[in-house]
Amino acid sequence: MLDWISTFLILAGVAFFVSGTIGLLRLPDLYCRLHALTKSDNLGHGLLILGLMLRSDDLLTALKLLLIWILVLTASAAASQLIAQYSGRS
């Protein structure tokens, strides 16, 4: 049962990565692409990591995975702000 939930979560996460990449290819300008990118960062990683946490052997690995997600969340928020700011300035 847990296995199935985990597989579902991982596949859903991968689907967000796919849609993020499609957004990067198809959306008209930089700000729209930023929007697509942050979706795949936040939700794609969130679902993927949640799925992998269900499979992890020990608590330490699970916590490390959670830390990576929080890191990616914060880092991608900061990075997309910086990129938007930069392109607005120039």
Partner 1 sequence: MPDVLMLACVVMAATLVVGLVPMVRSTSSVERMLTAQLLGTNGVGLILLLAQILDMPALVDVALVLALLAVIAVVAFTRRSGGSERA
Partner 2 sequence: MNTLSWSFLDILLVIALVLLAGAALRARSLRQSIILFIAFGLVTALVWARLRAPDVALAEAAIGAGLTGALLLTALRNRPSEESRLVSNNGMRWGGRWGNVAITVSVSLVALGIGWAVLYGMNDTQSGRLAGQVGSALELSGVSNPVTAVLLNFRAYDTLLELAVLLAALLGILSLGGGRATHCTVDPIATSLRGWLVPLLILTAGYQLWVGAHAPGGAFQAGALLAAAGVVQHLAGRAHAGLPVGAVLRVLMVSGIGIFMTMGLWTFLGGRGFLAYPQRWAGELILLIELFATLAIAVTLILCYLGSEPERRRITPAGSKP
Q: Quick one: which of 81, 87, 88, 90 contacts partner 2 (CB under 8 A)?
A: 81
Rounded to whole angstroms, the Cα distance separating 48 from 82 reads: 26
User: DSSP letter at 90?
Assistant: -
Q: What is the CA radius of gyration of the chain?
A: 15
Alpha helix stretches (DSSP H) within 1-90: 2-26, 30-39, 45-55, 59-89
**Rounded to an integer, what distance in angstroms lies between the CA atom of residue 31 and that of residue 48?**
25
11 near partner 2, judged by CB under 8 A: no
**One of 40, 43, 59, 66 touching partner 1 (CB under 8 A):** 40
Among 55, 78, 87, 88, binds partner 2 (CB under 8 A): 78
Measure Cα distances from 18 to 22, 23, 27, 73 in Å.
6, 9, 14, 18
> What does residue 58 show for φ and ψ, rounded to 5 degrees?
-130, 170
- Among 33, 50, 59, 66, which residue sits at the site for partner 1 (rule: CB under 8 A)? 33
Q: Which stretch binds partner 2 (CB under 8 A): 3-11, 35-43, 54-62, 72-80?
A: 72-80
Query: For binding to partner 1 (CB under 8 A), which residues are involved?
Result: 3, 7, 10-11, 13-14, 17-18, 20-21, 24-25, 30, 33-34, 37, 40-41, 44-45, 48-49, 52, 55, 57, 61, 64-65, 67-68, 71-72, 75-76, 78-80, 82-83, 85-87, 89-90
